[in-house]
Structure 1
Amino acid sequence: MKKTIRALLGATALCGLAGASFAESHVTTLTIATVNNGDMVRMQGLTDEFTALHPDIAVEWVTLEENVLRQRVTQDIATNGGQFDVMTIGTYEVPIWGAQGWLVGLDDLPDEWDADDLLPAIAGGLTVDGTLYAAPFYGESSMVMYRTDLMEAAGLEMPDAPSWEFIREAAAAMTDEENEIYGVCLRGKAGWGENMAFLTAMSNSFGARWFDMDWTPQFDSPEWAATIDFYLDLLGTYGPPGAANNGFNENLSLFNQGKCGMWIDATVAASFVTNPDDSVVAESVGFALAPDNGLGKRGNWLWAWSLAVPAGSDSPEAAKTFVAWATSKEYTALVAENEGWANVPPGTRTSLYENPDYLAAAPFAEMMLQSINAADPTNPTIEPVPYTGVQFVAIPEFAGIGTQTGQEFAAALAGQQTAAEALERAQEITEEEMDIAGY
């Protein structure tokens, strides 16, 4: 009898262990790679909200600086490594990787996710042959953010659509090095998505282009020389020390500390520079379109940080469940409830720009939408080009070429070589890489 009881107890214990193991084995763990930008940090802080809705899915985050993120996810997806289940990638990668079959299509997300609500300019950049391959987490263009108090003190008034010459005039008037206030902050850190994103968009407004219709590199053109000369003079004369080390996050910090008269960068920064918890100048920030040279193009870009499921994921359905949650209208409402409407991820959905609560809380909303709609990736330059993309060239080779050329222009900004030397090296690098690629 005792043996029987012991046997039953043992069997019960084993069943309990088996049940626990069974339950544990049915929890899917997703590994999500993302960038260390403010909106993504907010998303991580709301992870518990997702797992409460989906207790069968656990989430592990890998949060990386922008350039490092790009290297890691590109290496993983190109080798089908399967390290990540969800990747944060941009408008540059999505059409290339989608066409390669490296991403899982997202056309089967739930009806309530409402794909028709996506802004056409943003959704178009994430679609290949009619299939959506990434869900936009936030969309952006670029615009001028400026200190209204310093502009007034300088006796100037920022136009809604300024020229580059006005930007230089205002930068000179607002610079006060004794009090560590610099007239303008711009991206100087090397990287195809850092200084080259800014410089490529800027070059469009100067009449420059990466390639002519025969795929011949154009860094030896007078338009590129004018772009780089203006950039180096503007940032070198009126920018902060060490500007060659500054990307988005570094300039955001400088602006929020009151050290930048103007900052020309991503529209998504607007919610951070106007948040009193983040910025000491939150009450004195104005917005304007990115500058132009009167040639018909502005120096603004078009981008979306988006969530995609790599084809190498072992858990694509769970991954799509997370992607749908994080990019939904319901997630936007959740952020609004926790952080206020001004801090929701912007630039992806038409309904957001029709929401009176958002429009009332976000004084930058109209300028942001204008900037997004003004960028045309299919017609980015004044002269015709064989590529699409506003601040990048949508070919696989661009990431490597853009990073190498970005290093040359960062070196010029740091005073390690002249503008002419940087342009000559950029031309050589691009010619060599395009020859190897068979263009």
Structure 2
Amino acid sequence: MRLRTRPLSAAALAVATLATLSACSDPTAEQTSASGETTITVALAANPQMKTAESLIADFEQKNPGLKVKFTTLPENDLRPAVTKDVATKAGQYDVTMIGSYEVPIWAKNGWIVPLDDYVAKDTAWDSGDVLQPIKDIVSADGKLYGAPFYGSSSFLFYRKDLAEKAGVKIPEKPTWKQVADAAAKMDDKKGGVSGICLRGLPGWGQNLASLTTVINTFGGRWFDEQWQPQLTSPETTKAVQFYVDLLREHGQPDAAKDGWEGCLQQITQGKTAMWYDDTVFAGSALQQATPEIKDNLAFALAPVEQTDASGWLWSWALGITESSKNKDAAWKFISWATSKEYIKLAGAKAGWDSIPPGSRTSTYDLPEYQEAAKSYADLTLKSINAADPKQPTVQPVPYTGVQYVQIPEFTDIGDYVSQQVAGAISGTQTVADALRKSQEYAAEAVKKAGYLK
């Protein structure tokens, strides 16, 4: 969940075909080299779990003689527009896309990706019934599966137990934002180089707006009312954004507008912040990268709330086959490998159990090795995923779905603009009121132009 700079962006994965294709593929479109080898080009987001998959690709190639994999690994900000352009123009550079749950129904409607149901039905070992239902739902459209979940996630609070104890504060399993703000104030140690909290400030609807939108939701705000009138200057939204900006400016990391999840992950693992609110998927990475002292004191709590019962987001990075792919059957072979129960065991054994893709399969949480490695956060991850409600993420009714985003094509453009304004408020170049006034006007014009607002 991250920066998207252009409409309909998503990450990508590419795959090519084996010598023999099933009825689902076009045999006239086979892409095989003179040596008889097929090369699969896979575009990945540069996240820790994806890098693990890249490091383990020899296992796939050994099990699929004649099939080679070439990875294109890019930061999400660069990957999304590149892949979107490819699938929209049907250029065919990528056979498989690593696609976010936001894009799945939009891309499916546009005919850019193909349903996976036939592949899943034939590949009984993949075990569709093992996939967590909330995650399966957000990578499906019109009752069809379009993405095989690589990982699923929500959001929660990371915090240092030792720093909380030193400051005389207690973080409950289900804190409020007021409790978090109070704790941040007490744990803030600017002289010691430790901020009270780290939050995403980097522009992008998948960067600062991912975190901020969950705050807006639980404070009673929303992006649009039922008539698609923007609500960015409403009292509830204004209060939420002002809270977020003030918290960062008073007790957040230095130069917060430059930090996305990567910056905050570095802050928490290097002992430079006492708390961090972000994606559950980074719990394993934080523990793996932290020094022993920090690792032993790192704890987790559910996403902070105000008016709602829960406020964690819901996300999945999934693998989908592009309509323009000339190698659809080979694409599924790679997808099946990378999203299987066997791959999760392989990643745990070879790269460490903190490196596996979490939140996708029920069976993951039954593995003794994972239960031991993830005992401080596994249950909270499942609670967070199951509590998220993309159909009703806010206190008030909304005409859209999505917890940390609005699932309409125009949101990437709207969200990118709004996130820039919010970053300006975080950096102090404008007030929250000015940022939201500009955002309200931009959003109104965008939804009016798109035909939502009459």
1:215 is aligned to 228
Of 200, 209, 220, the residue aligned with 1:187 is 200
Q: Does the 8 A contact of 1:204 with 1:298 survive in 2?
A: no
User: What is the DSSP-based 3-state SS (H/G/I as helix, E as strand, rest coil) of the residue aligned with 1:182?
Assistant: coil
Larger Rg: 1
1:147 aligned to 2:160?
A: yes
Deviation readout 1:27-68 (Å, 9 max, x if unpaired): 221111111110011111011111111122111111111121
CA offsets 1:57-100 (integer angstroms, 9 cap, x no match)? 11111111112112111222122121211211111001111122
2:104 aligns to what?
Answer: 94
- Deviation per CA, 1:162-197: give whole Å up to 9, x if none: 000110111011111112100100001101111111
Q: Give the 5 Å matches for 1:320-359.
A: 320-359=332-371
Q: CA deviation at 1:279?
A: 7.0
Q: What are the superposed Cα offsets for residues 322-352 of structure 1, whole Å, 9 maximum, x if unpaired?
A: 0110000000010111123333110001111
Opposite residue 34 of structure 1, the aligned amino acid is: L
Query: Is contact 1:28-1:315 (8 Å) kept?
Result: no
Q: SS where residue 429 of structure 2 aligns?
A: coil
Q: Does residue 184 of structure 2 align to residue 171 of structure 1?
A: yes
| Matched residue, 2:244 | 231
Partner amino acid, structure 2, of 1:36? A
Q: 1:218 to 1:297 in 2, by over 3 A?
A: farther
Q: Does the 8 Å contact 1:289/1:367 carry over to 2?
A: yes
Return the letter of the residue paired with 1:331.
Y
2:447 maps to which residue?
Answer: 434
**SS at structure 2 position matched to 1:59:** strand
Question: 300, 303, 306: which is aligned to 2:318?
Answer: 306
1:369 paired residue among 382, 391, 399: 382
How many residue pairs match? The answer is: 417
Equivalent position of 2:88 in the other structure:
78
Q: Which amino acid aligns with 2:314?
A: L
Query: SS of the counterpart of 2:281?
Result: helix
Q: Distance in 1 between matches of 2:400 and 2:204?
A: 20
Distance in 2, Cα, partners of 1:323 & 1:334: 15
Alignment correspondent of 2:51: 41
Pairs within 5 Å for 1:7-156: 24-107=34-117, 108-109=119-120, 110-156=123-169
Deviation digits for residues 286-312 of structure 1 (CA, Å, limit 9, x no counterpart): 11000011x124331000111111111
In 2, are the aligned partners of 1:147 and 1:284 still within 8 Å (CA)?
A: yes
Q: What is the aligned partner in structure 1 of residue 268 from structure 2?
A: 255
Equivalent position amino acid for 1:172 in 2: A
1:14 corresponds in structure 2 to none
**In the superposition, relative to structure 1, how do residues 278 and 133 fare at CA in structure 2: closer, same or farther (>3 Å)?**
farther
Counterpart residue type for residue 358 of structure 2: P
Q: TM-score with structure 2 length normalisation?
A: 0.89
Residue 201 of structure 1 deviates from its aligned partner by 1.3
Q: Deviations over 1:216-258 (max 9, x none)?
A: 1101200111011100110111111111010011110111101
Secondary structure of 1:33's counterpart equals: strand
For structure 2, the 5+ residue unaligned runs are: 1-31
Percent identity of equivalent pairs: 46
Match of 2:288 among 263, 268, 275: 275
1:32 partner letter: V
Match of 2:98, SS state, is strand
Q: Which of the two has greater helix per residue?
A: 1
Distance change (3 Å), C-alpha of 1:280 and 1:400: farther
Q: Which residue of 1 aligns with 2:329?
A: 317
Structure 2 counterpart of 1:198, which letter?
S
Does the C-alpha gap of structure 1 residues 277 and 382 become closer, same or farther in structure 2, counting only changes over 3 Å? closer
CA–CA separation in structure 1 for the residues paired with 2:416 and 2:293 = 33
The DSSP-based 3-state class of the residue aligned with 1:376 is: coil
Deviation at 1:25, TM superposition (A): 4.7
Equivalent residue, structure 1, for 2:279: 266
What is the Cα deviation at residue 354 of structure 1?
2.5
Q: For residue 350 of structure 1, what is the amino acid of its counterpart?
A: T
Task: Find the counterpart in structure 2 of residue 410 from structure 1.
Answer: 423
Distance 1:429 1:142 in 2: 28
Structure 1 stretch 111-120 or stretch 96-105: which is displaced more?
Answer: 96-105
- Structure 1 stretches lacking a partner, 5+ long: 1-21
SS of residue paired to 2:416: helix
Distance in 1 between residues matched to 2:212 and 2:290, nearest whole Å: 31
Is the CA contact (8 Å cut-off) linking 2:270 and 2:290 kept in structure 1? no
Q: 1:267 is aligned with what amino acid? A: T
> 1:278, CA displacement in angstroms?
6.7
The alpha-carbon distance between structure 1 residues 313 and 282, as it changes in their structure 2 partners (threshold 3 A), is: same
- 2-side partners of 1:29 and 1:23: how far apart? 8
What's the Cα RMSD here? 1.4
- Secondary structure of residue in 2 paired with 1:252: helix
- Map 1:195-210 onto structure 2 (within 5 A): 195-210=208-223
Partner of 1:423: 436
Matched residues in 2 for 1:278 and 1:399: separation?
A: 37
List 4+ stretches of structure 1 deviating above 4 A. 276-280
